[in-house]
Amino acid sequence: MPQGQPSVVPADGLTTRQRRNRPLTIVHTGVGKGKSTAAFGLALRAWNQGWPIGVFQFVKSAKWKVGEERALRVLGASGEGGTVAWHKMGEGWSWVQRTVEQEVSSEEAAREGWAQVKRDLAAETYQLYVLDEFAYPMHWGWVDTAEVVAVLRDRPGSQHVVITGRNAPAALVEAADLVTEMTKVKHPMDAGQKGQKGIEW
């Protein structure tokens, strides 16, 4: 299997193996389609390696059923690869117990989700974290970008984090190890075609 050769070998005192196995912060941003799709593709690779995976869906409604969720839940329960835990902000987060009367704003829910991610990072719960559409709460000022950058910089172990969403803050982009900007060249919606099963969800 081809393994790309780095164009630069830094004088950081690390061996090739140590440098290769450093945890990565990955950002998928831009206006083009495919940010979450690429992140879930990465989750498939992580599952195949036997890594525990934590998916945190910020912003999306609980009514929105994505195909990757069902596929990864089935794979995670199969016992053949890694485990998969899937959390949705739109469902009020699975770890928060509320009465029917307790309503929470989207901003508060985003902060609760980030608080749980911080707890999981500290406990080294997962080896891959998919923080889907987490760029939005930072862009809107609901979650402090500087804190996110600091927590990710100081996280223990070999936990990889991928963050998706448009308008990723500049400080996050600067701190990340791998950043991909999805650009749109053409999209069916430009010609009046709505999203369809198997393509959008």
Secondary structure (DSSP) of 159-173 = -EEEEE-SS--HHHH
Res 186 pLDDT > 50: yes
Res 152 pLDDT > 90: yes
Predicted confidence at residue 1, as pLDDT, reads 42
Question: The whole model's pTM is what?
Answer: 0.88
| Per-residue pLDDT band at 172 (split at 50, 70, 90) | very high
Predicted confidence at residue 17, as pLDDT, reads 74
- Please enumerate in sequence order all residues whose Cβ is within 8 A of that of 30, keeping only pairs 6 or more positions apart, or say none: 166, 180, 181, 182, 183
| Per-residue pLDDT band at 178 (split at 50, 70, 90) | very high
- Please enumerate in sequence order all residues whose Cβ is within 8 A of that of 34, keeping only pairs 6 or more positions apart, or say none: 28, 182
Lowest-confidence range among 15-19, 48-52, 156-160, 180-184?
Answer: 15-19
Give the tens place of pLDDT for each residue, 73-112. Answer: 899 999 999 999 999 987 777 777 666 556 778 899 999 9
Task: Give 104 or 134, the one with higher predicted confidence.
Answer: 134
Percent of the chain topping pLDDT 90: 62
Lowest-confidence range among 31-40, 58-67, 101-110, 132-141?
Answer: 58-67
What dotted CATH number matches 21-93+105-184? 3.40.50.300
Tokens of 3: 């393994």
- The full set of domain ranges for the chain reads 21-93+105-184
Lowest-confidence range among 144-153, 166-175, 188-197?
Answer: 188-197
